[in-house]
Structure 1
Amino acid sequence: MEKEKPPIFGMLQRGGEVVIRMLADVKQATIGPLIRRTIAAGSLVYTDEYDIYSRLEEWGYAHETVCHAAGEYARDDDADGFCEVHVNTLEGFWSLLRSWLRPHRGISQECLPLYLGFFEFVHNVRARGKRLLGALISQLLAPPRNPS
């Protein structure tokens, strides 16, 4: 947390919801419990080759990676013409988040989780369209949840 840019960890179900959290570090001991609370055991998880994901199979997940260092960004493992192994969906989400945060220069680390929570909320209710206001009011009236 002493860093100017704290680590932000994200998990995104393709075509579904996102979970993003500001973390103290990106160690397996930190991300493991968050992954287990968020992703159903047995799910197939796509990541890049970063070594913090090396225990996903041990934790009960199927795991496929792309190797950005080797210039690989998508792969068609089953030869059906569709590159299913990629992390492009989450990469696109990060791009949207950075663009949204850019005008808010100088966000303190204490306030950043609130900004992340709002962006996560808007992303997750985007399919509700005009019902967004009702969903927002419901969330505001809901009991607080642990942000970690």
Structure 2
Amino acid sequence: MKTTFTLLTLSENFPDEESCIKYFEKMRWDGKVVSPYDPTSKVYKCSNGKYKCKNTGRYFDVKTGTAFANTKIPMRAWFYTMMLFLSHKRGVSSCQLARDLGITQKTAWNMLHKIRQYMEMENNQTLSGEVEIDEAFVGGKNKNRHKDKKVERCQGRAYKDKVPVFGILERGGKVIAKVVPNIYGATLLSIVNEYVTEGSVVYTDGAGYPGINIDYEQRDVDHSKHFYGTTYATDEGEIIVVSTNGIENVWSHFKRMIFGIYYHVSKKYMQRYIDEYIFRFNTRNFSDSQRFNLLLRNVA
């Protein structure tokens, strides 16, 4: 079976349920079956794709312990959902997926959220070199709300009705983003310390990050004074670009994904949608089949 495929050729590569299960077994075990109950145990192959763990006496299959377990949804439907989900640049809504698969919207919503939880692995990278940091506030605009639902003094950096998100972009590399409880300097700096290698150059928008210059070299652009960046050369000939346009671009595309496909996202599930976007961004140079295989390995 070819490991490179598209949404159009998916049915040719996986014509039946058995082919999907065999492909997932290859991803998970690569020819050596391991018991999810006792990795050191000997495993017996049984009928109907089942296996038995000798040490515990429990039966399992390749779906045990994954998003595909304890569900009546066939593996072909899961594969189609994942490929459809990844091949669309900004995702697919649960309503659209429900129509495509002939299932309920609730089932489609649950399937998509099960998939999103395995995208989180791409949102835990260690960044270094030159990085840009910035926070964003995700939520509707007051001017678009009905007068009964307007919230006073909620625009700008206020987040009474919005979700604050903090992001870090490695220039030319990957990005991470996390929902944060507040935008205090100490809160954001703790995330920088966790994900950015000491000694890196950190570009900020002028917001205060007390102590950031202890472990990092900080360079600012003060947006409050309408200063958005500059480029200059050092005596050694190094070109320095002082701006946070890269991370601002990340927020722009993320908000377009939300407003264009999902319309409304609750605070409870915001991190899941952020993980989805970060997965797409960090694999932006992957083909659809490479993304599919990466996500399937995460599930496995």
TM tier, smaller: 0.7 to 0.9
Residue type matched to 1:5 in 2?
K
Task: Return the match for 1:113 from 271, 280, 285.
Answer: 271
Per-residue CA shift, 1:40-72, capped at 9, x if unaligned?
A: 000000010012x242102x0001001112221
C-alpha distance in 2 between matches for 1:81 and 1:37: 28
Q: Name the residue aligned to 1:61.
A: 216
Task: Return the match for 1:73 from 228, 235, 241.
Answer: 228
**Per the alignment, do residues 139 and 3 of structure 1 end up closer, same or farther by CA in structure 2, a change over 3 Å counting?**
farther
Answering whether residue 162 of structure 2 is matched by residue 25 of structure 1, we say no
1:19: how far off? 0.4
C-alpha distance in 2 between matches for 1:108 and 1:114: 10
RMSD: 1.9
Answering whether residue 266 of structure 2 is matched by residue 132 of structure 1, we say no
SS for the counterpart of 1:90 is helix
SS for the counterpart of 1:15 is coil
Gaps of 5+ in 2: 1-158
Residue type matched to 1:100 in 2?
M
SS for the counterpart of 1:63 is strand
Answering whether residue 164 of structure 2 is matched by residue 7 of structure 1, we say yes
**Pairs aligned (count):** 138
Residue type matched to 1:114 in 2?
R
C-alpha distance in 2 between matches for 1:29 and 1:9: 13
Gaps of 5+ in 1: 142-148
Structure 1 consecutive aligned stretches of length 4 or more whose deviation exceeds 6 Å: none
SS for the counterpart of 1:57 is helix
C-alpha distance in 2 between matches for 1:140 and 1:21: 21
Q: Name the residue aligned to 1:86.
A: 243
Question: 2:186·2:210 contact (CA, 8 Å) conserved in 1?
Answer: no
Deviates more, 1:40-49 or 1:122-131: 122-131
Percent same amino acid among aligned pairs?
A: 25
What TM-score does the superposition give when structure 2 sets the normalisation length?
Answer: 0.43
Higher Rg of the two aligned structures: 2
C-alpha distance in 2 between matches for 1:78 and 1:47: 19
1:74: how far off? 1.2
1:76: how far off? 1.9
1:81: how far off? 10
Q: Name the residue aligned to 1:146.
A: none
1:82: how far off? 5.5
SS for the counterpart of 2:177 is strand
C-alpha distance in 1 between matches for 2:220 and 2:251: 18
1:83: how far off? 5.8
Question: 2:204·2:220 contact (CA, 8 Å) conserved in 1?
Answer: yes
